[in-house]
């Protein structure tokens, strides 16, 4: 035990003397949370729209003013030509073209359903759907108000069931409450897996691992002494990230932090085992980065950080059973946002525990064979 404590002490001294590692530990969470939590979003807050008004009437100008008054749309000037407006779409200077045909006001006066053409840039399918939904809503509300106010039409509708919508867990629909916990998972994984692997491979590159192997230090003492400091740092990283997320984005903390950190502790055993395995199959820090990047990008994109895992094909959902980030991503959101308890995350807890024991055991066995 004394030997392990000396190794842990040595590791902490080495980490805090490393001028490259300190910024990764302390600055990386703040920078990534500030950038990704604001940039990685599916919300459409600034849709560029160009209007081709062939009618040029008072009613058509009122339609345009409704779009201009919306917080979602920005009017991009264009000539009175659809071809010119489509050139703006091709150059990505506008997202949506609305064509108001000649006779628009006349149709309204004659109680004929007016027609408006919407040309949507659908390279981004999600953005195109939202842009179409927003614009259609404005047009429908406008024509309804015209029918009631201008034409004095009394629309008689049969009695309907009154419904009230309540958004649970995230009533203000803030996307940051969804993204910030997911980003914290990635940060904790980077600390637990990447830095552990880089630190162990660095020992190989410097040749100090051969010197350690000829000392009386046993292999399990060396591995524990190497892994425990990064386990502690990653847990601190999670606490620090939660504090930053609460102060900057006011993320909800509805569940038990003790439960969350307990799960994170088991997850980090899995991540540390992955870092140990990477170091055993790599001979340089460049190799570690390339191999880790290959696995990390797959696990992150399939973890549900951006899209719902339930919408993925069956083979992807089966693959996620061995994806540790999928479990942590789901648990941290359930605990923080939904206030889940142990019974709600029991299945994920058991799965991650099995994966952690398997990964760490295999990594220790592999490290023993190659060191």
Share of the chain above pLDDT 90, in %: 26
Is residue 135 domain-shared with residue 53, that is, in the same domain?
yes
Of the two residues 205 and 342, the one the predictor is more confident about is 342
* Closest CA relative to residue 329, chosen from 309, 304, 297: 304
pLDDT at position 306: 81
Please determine, for residue 151, whether its predicted confidence score (pLDDT) is greater than 60.
Answer: no
For residue 8, tell me if it sits in a domain: no
Last residue of a domain, one of 133, 149, 165: 149
The pTM (predicted TM-score) of the whole model is: 0.77
pLDDT digits (tens, 9 = 90+) for 220-274: 777 888 888 889 989 998 998 899 889 988 899 999 999 999 999 999 999 999 9
Please determine, for residue 149, whether its predicted confidence score (pLDDT) is greater than 70.
Answer: no
pLDDT at position 335: 95
pLDDT at position 28: 73
pLDDT at position 369: 43
For residue 167, tell me if it sits in a domain: no
Please determine, for residue 90, whether its predicted confidence score (pLDDT) is greater than 80.
Answer: yes
Provide the residue range defining the domain that includes 279: 18-40+175-370
368 — pLDDT class (breaks 50, 70, 90) = low
Of the two residues 109 and 82, the one the predictor is more confident about is 82
Out of 12-26, 193-207, 284-298, pick the least confident: 12-26
Is residue 268 domain-shared with residue 360, that is, in the same domain?
yes
Is residue 355 domain-shared with residue 251, that is, in the same domain?
yes
Mean pLDDT, rounded, for 280-296: 84
pLDDT at position 342: 93
Is residue 252 domain-shared with residue 350, that is, in the same domain?
yes
Is residue 297 domain-shared with residue 270, that is, in the same domain?
yes
Q: What are phi and psi of 120, to 5 degrees?
A: -110, 135
Is residue 273 domain-shared with residue 345, that is, in the same domain?
yes
Is residue 200 domain-shared with residue 313, that is, in the same domain?
yes
For residue 210, tell me if it sits in a domain: yes
Query: How far is it, in rounded angstroms, from Cα 12 to Cα 296?
Result: 26
Query: How far is it, in rounded angstroms, from Cα 314 to Cα 321?
Result: 11
pLDDT at position 156: 52
Last residue of a domain, one of 108, 132, 149: 149
Of the two residues 48 and 123, the one the predictor is more confident about is 48
Q: How many domains does the chain have?
A: 2
Query: How far is it, in rounded angstroms, from Cα 332 to Cα 251?
Result: 12
Is residue 138 domain-shared with residue 238, that is, in the same domain?
no
Is residue 327 domain-shared with residue 181, that is, in the same domain?
yes
Mean pLDDT, rounded, for 124-145: 84
CATH code assigned at 66: 3.40.1710.10
Please calculate the CA angle 358-362-364 and round it to the nearest 5 degrees: 120
* Closest CA relative to residue 237, chosen from 202, 206, 191: 191
For residue 264, tell me if it sits in a domain: yes
A 10 A CB-CB count for 232 gives: 14
For residue 101, tell me if it sits in a domain: yes
pLDDT at position 328: 95
End-to-end CA distance of the chain: 22
Of the two residues 43 and 285, the one the predictor is more confident about is 285
Is residue 212 domain-shared with residue 347, that is, in the same domain?
yes
pLDDT at position 371: 45
Is residue 80 domain-shared with residue 143, that is, in the same domain?
yes
Highest mean pLDDT among 14-23, 34-43, 282-291: 282-291
pLDDT at position 35: 81
For residue 159, tell me if it sits in a domain: no
Please determine, for residue 1, whether its predicted confidence score (pLDDT) is greater than 90.
Answer: no
For residue 347, tell me if it sits in a domain: yes
Of the two residues 169 and 254, the one the predictor is more confident about is 254
Strand blocks (E) in the chain: 47-53, 73-75, 96-100, 117-120
Mean pLDDT over the full length of the chain: 84
pLDDT at position 217: 74
Please determine, for residue 38, whether its predicted confidence score (pLDDT) is greater than 80.
Answer: no
Highest mean pLDDT among 28-42, 114-128, 144-158: 114-128
Look at the block and give the residue holding tokens 């500030």: 34
Please determine, for residue 298, whether its predicted confidence score (pLDDT) is greater than 80.
Answer: yes
Please determine, for residue 147, whether its predicted confidence score (pLDDT) is greater than 70.
Answer: no
Is residue 27 domain-shared with residue 63, that is, in the same domain?
no
Last residue of a domain, one of 92, 114, 149: 149
Mean pLDDT, rounded, for 272-288: 85
For residue 154, tell me if it sits in a domain: no
């Amino acid at each position: 035990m004394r030997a392990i404590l000396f190794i842990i002490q040595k590791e902490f001294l080495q980490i805090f003397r490393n001028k490259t590692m300190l910024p990764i530990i302390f600055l990386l969470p703040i920078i990534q949370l500030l950038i990704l939590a604001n940039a990685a979003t599916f919300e459409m807050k600034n849709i560029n729209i160009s209007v081709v008004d062939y009618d040029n009437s008072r009613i058509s100008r009122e339609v345009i003013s409704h779009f201009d008054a919306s917080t979602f749309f920005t009017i991009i000037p264009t000539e009175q030509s659809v071809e010119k407006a489509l050139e703006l779409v091709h150059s990505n200077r506008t997202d949506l073209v609305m064509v108001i045909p000649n006779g628009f006001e006349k149709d309204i006066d004659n109680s004929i359903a007016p027609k408006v053409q919407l040309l949507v840039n659908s390279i981004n399918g999600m953005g195109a759907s939202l842009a179409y939904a927003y614009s259609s809503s404005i047009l429908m509300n406008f024509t309804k108000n015209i029918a009631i106010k201008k034409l004095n039409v009394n629309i008689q509708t049969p009695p309907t069931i009154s419904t009230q919508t309540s958004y649970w867990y995230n009533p203000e629909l803030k996307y940051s409450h969804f993204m910030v916990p997911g980003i914290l998972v990635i940060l904790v994984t980077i600390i637990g897996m990447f830095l552990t692997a880089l630190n162990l491979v660095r020992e190989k590159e410097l040749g100090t691992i051969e010197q350690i192997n000829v000392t009386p230090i046993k292999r399990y003492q060396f591995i524990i002494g190497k892994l425990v400091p990064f386990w502690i740092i990653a847990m601190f990283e999670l606490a620090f990230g939660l504090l930053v997320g609460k102060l900057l984005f006011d993320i909800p903390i509805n569940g038990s932090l003790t439960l969350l950190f307990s799960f994170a502790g088991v997850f980090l055993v899995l991540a540390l085992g992955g870092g140990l395995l990477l170091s055993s199959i790599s001979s340089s820090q460049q190799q570690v980065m390339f191999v880790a990047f290959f696995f990390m990008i797959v696990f992150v994109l399939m973890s549900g950080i951006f899209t719902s895992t339930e919408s993925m094909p069956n083979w992807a959902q089966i693959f996620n059973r061995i994806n540790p980030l999928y479990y942590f991503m789901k648990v941290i959101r359930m605990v923080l946002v939904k206030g889940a308890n142990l019974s709600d995350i029991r299945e994920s807890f058991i799965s991650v525990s099995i994966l952690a024991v398997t990964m760490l055991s295999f990594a220790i066995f592999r490290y023993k064979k190659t060191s």
